[in-house]
């Protein structure tokens, strides 16, 4: 940019100053609506203004948001930076009343939001964005577990209900009317949290006293666990969060010679289930065994890698097909084993099963041809 262009820029916006010797970065303030608002323009070395980057503070961004398409067009068509800045100044000068109205509206929203947060308690506030529309709050239950509630306010708040996302195991349904406040949402959220305490207590007991293979980092929304039983078998459970002490949905994974006796034992001992006992206690009682735990084993003993791809996790799949020969017991991803057997000349297929030999020990092994991820 030549000296004349630089002087022209200063005449248009005196507080917008070049920040480098190449005159590629202009940072400073533009005056509109009686206020100086921050603006930064980064020019490309090529000189093509359409590739320039324009950044500004949230108040200026709100003013310009309704004209973003026009500004983008002016930027791409402007002959030089002074031309674009003059277009920007004309745009700001044409709407002082609109700007003042927007600032007033923003001030009202901010004041109302601050009042609502004060009513909730500042200690519960995690974050609020520059538009004052996205808020994150953190609440703790009686066991000091953290629960995050994210709130996106409507532009017509409080007339319209906000959008809520939480880490609860079920959808959070809340009641809202034109007189509702964020405090009403928080109170309803705390009430719902109290209903899941027994569920989380039972899941925490499992997480602390067994080797949970899945999910790797359980959160408050997760209703399933895959628990290690030994190096060749695991138990996957899906728990009803509203009735956590009832018998969960159970599925055994692993070598047939290991899981078949466990499945039979579970079915024959169903009458022993006691809804007054914890979930873990009941599972161990029905299976007549104590689960491996951090106090007597290492997780590496149960997170065995696939014998074909040598990885534990393959996208969302884990090695849950195990060689039935007790002397082998090598686990495989079902998709890996299917692809391995599919190309072997000695393998054969019958309906939805493919039969072949274990890649490790050569003993017979089968896998379904329909592989689920």
Q: What is the gyration radius of the CA atoms in the chain, in angstroms?
A: 31
Interstrand relation of 224-230 and 233-238 (parallel, antiparallel or unpaired): antiparallel
Q: What is the pLDDT of residue 49?
A: 85
Measured CA to CA, the distance from residue 24 to residue 44 in angstroms comes to 7
Percent of the chain at pLDDT above 70? Answer: 94
End-to-end CA distance of the chain: 57
pLDDT band at residue 109 under the 50/70/90 scheme = low
H/E run at residue 267: helix 256-268
Segment 154-189, tens digit of pLDDT: 878 888 999 999 999 999 999 999 889 999 999 999
**Domains of the chain (ranges plus CATH)?**
3-94 (3.10.110), 106-195 (3.10.110.10), 198-301 (3.10.110.20), 304-373 (3.30.40.10)
Q: What is the pLDDT of residue 320?
A: 78
Q: What is the pLDDT of residue 96?
A: 54
Measured CA to CA, the distance from residue 156 to residue 205 in angstroms comes to 44
Find the mean pLDDT for residues 12-29. Answer: 89
| Least reliable range by pLDDT among 5-9, 59-63, 250-254 | 5-9
Q: Give yes or no for residue 372 having a pLDDT over 50.
A: no
Residues 6+ apart with CB under 8 A from 58: 130, 131
Q: What is the DSSP string of 95-120?
A: -HHHHHHHHHHHHHHHHHHHHHHHHH
pLDDT band at residue 210 under the 50/70/90 scheme = very high
The neighbour count for residue 349, using CB atoms within 10 Å, is: 12
Q: Give yes or no for residue 105 having a pLDDT over 90.
A: no
Q: What is the pLDDT of residue 373?
A: 40
CA distances from 278 to 164, 206, 219, 239, 284 (A): 32, 10, 19, 12, 10
Q: What is the pLDDT of residue 106?
A: 56
Find the mean pLDDT for residues 23-34. Answer: 87
Q: What is the pLDDT of residue 98?
A: 54
Q: Give yes or no for residue 100 having a pLDDT over 60.
A: no
Q: What is the pLDDT of residue 1?
A: 62
The neighbour count for residue 218, using CB atoms within 10 Å, is: 16
CB burial of residue 273 (10 Å; 0-12, 13-18, 19+): middle
pLDDT, mean over the chain: 87
Find the mean pLDDT for residues 228-247. Answer: 91
Report whether 13 contacts 85 (CB < 8 A). Answer: yes
Greater confidence (102 vs 90) lies with: 90
Segment 39-55, tens digit of pLDDT: 999 998 887 888 898 99
| β-bridge partners, 238 | 224, 249
Find the mean pLDDT for residues 7-18. Answer: 86
């Amino acid at each position: 940019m030549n000296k004349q262009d630089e002087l022209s820029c200063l005449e248009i916006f005196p507080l917008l100053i070049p920040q480098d010797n190449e005159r590629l970065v202009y940072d400073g303030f533009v005056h509109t609506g009686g206020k100086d608002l921050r603006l930064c323009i980064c020019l490309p070395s090529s000189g093509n203004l359409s590739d320039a980057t324009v950044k500004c503070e949230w108040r200026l961004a709100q003013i310009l948001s309704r004209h973003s398409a026009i500004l983008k067009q002016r930027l791409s068509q402007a002959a030089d930076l002074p031309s674009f800045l003059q277009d920007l100044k004309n745009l700001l000068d044409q709407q002082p009343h609109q700007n003042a109205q927007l600032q007033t509206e923003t001030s009202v929203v901010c004041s109302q939001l601050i009042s609502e947060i004060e009513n909730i308690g500042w200690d519960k506030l995690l974050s609020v964005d520059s538009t004052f529309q996205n808020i994150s709050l953190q609440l703790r239950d009686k066991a000091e577990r953290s629960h995050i509630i994210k709130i996106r306010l409507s532009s017509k708040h409080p007339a319209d209900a906000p959008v809520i996302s939480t880490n609860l195991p079920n959808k959070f349904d809340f009641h809202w009317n034109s007189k509702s406040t964020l405090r009403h949402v928080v109170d309803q959220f705390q009430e719902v949290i109290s209903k899941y305490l027994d569920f989380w207590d039972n899941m925490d007991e499992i997480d602390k006293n067994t080797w949970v293979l899945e999910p790797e980092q359980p959160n408050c929304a997760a209703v399933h666990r895959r628990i290690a039983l030994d190096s060749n078998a695991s138990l996957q459970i899906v728990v009803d969060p509203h009735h956590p002490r009832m018998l969960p949905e159970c599925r055994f994974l692993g070598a047939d010679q290991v899981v078949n006796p466990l499945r039979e034992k579970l079915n024959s001992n169903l009458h022993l289930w006691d809804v007054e006992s914890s979930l873990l206690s009941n599972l161990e009682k029905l299976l007549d065994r104590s689960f491996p735990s951090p106090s007597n084993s290492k997780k590496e003993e149960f997170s065995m890698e696939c014998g074909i791809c040598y990885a534990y996790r393959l996208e969302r799949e884990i090695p849950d097909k195990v060689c039935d020969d007790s002397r082998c017991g090598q686990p495989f991803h079902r998709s890996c084993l299917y692809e391995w057997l599919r190309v072997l000349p000695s393998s054969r297929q019958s309906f939805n099963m493919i039969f072949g030999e274990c890649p490790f020990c050569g003993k017979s092994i089968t896998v379904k041809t329909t592989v689920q991820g």
